[in-house]
Structure 1
Amino acid sequence: MDKLYVICVDDQREVLNALTQDLESFESSLMIEECESVNEAWDVMESIDTNGDHVAVLITDQVMPANTGVDLLKKLKSDSRFQDTRTVLLTGLATHQDTIDAINAAHLDNYVEKPWKKESLHQIIRVLITKFVLSKGIDYQQYSDVIDRNTLFENLRKTT
């Protein structure tokens, strides 16, 4: 089974801890990785790809030292290895222009403001994992505990 990863990027350790704690219920099917910088995240994603696994979802903060979350999202979308990776900008400090750049230049899938609601974040992750699995042609049955059934059924209905 190919491993699916959710990469969480934030320069504040307490935010990363809270985020990964809120995502613990997905760990039966997904690997959750924490990164404190854009450079660390890129290294982790390249390692995942080299191992033949998949970066299914990238959740990134916007305001970080050296590079921003939008910088990471743009780099991700320009790399063919990660074309299907779904993205979330999780931030409380993004400017209006940052958000526009994330949507237009980096093809952002979701924008979530801090502080987030756990249930809402879970639903977003379920939908994004489902879309990723379907786009990659991965057998969705092996991820039945983390996919969004409505998204799955809508997609299946469109293809029949």
Structure 2
Amino acid sequence: MPKTRKMLCDWKAPYIQSLMRLIETQSKETLANWAITYCEERLLPLWERDYPDDLRPQQALKAAREWLSGTIKLPQAKKKILACHGAARDAEGNPVAQAVARAIGQSASTIHSARHCIGLAFYGALAVAYDQLGTAASWDEIEHCAAAECGRIEAALRSMAVEHERNPAKINWNC
């Protein structure tokens, strides 16, 4: 199997910059709901196809939703989210599933820190590109496909975005 990258990493890519600017206008709650919903609809099926009996990613998303609704505390949610990151480690050798689990873990972690939501693009878009093109495709092809997925990710956030959000998340990207 060809060497695969574990995530997109070009913070300066126009599709990442555009998404980051939109993220900066939204509240942590909106960002968490968006990232969780996108994972449930677009990424979780890719995980379930290969690991139908491993429920850690589903449980991380469920715990994040429960935290948002106030039914559980952050330490309880955090345990499920960390378990999802463990699922990513356990999926070594399956680049699609590994990237999906990382995207889900980062998306669920948005309840703790809003900046985690960018992991949806860096991991999730790569997972979709690997799923669609395979890991033998050139990096240019992979990145082109991932950029298109980032466009869909951004469109999903635009559809949920609160216009003139009064309490946007304060994000220091550190990049």
TM-score between the two structures when normalised by the length of structure 2: 0.29
- Judging by fraction of residues, say which structure has more helix: 2
**Structure with more of its chain in strand, by fraction:** 1
- Structure possessing the higher relative contact order (Cα contacts under 8 Å, 6 or more residues apart): 2
TM, length-normalised to structure 1: 0.31
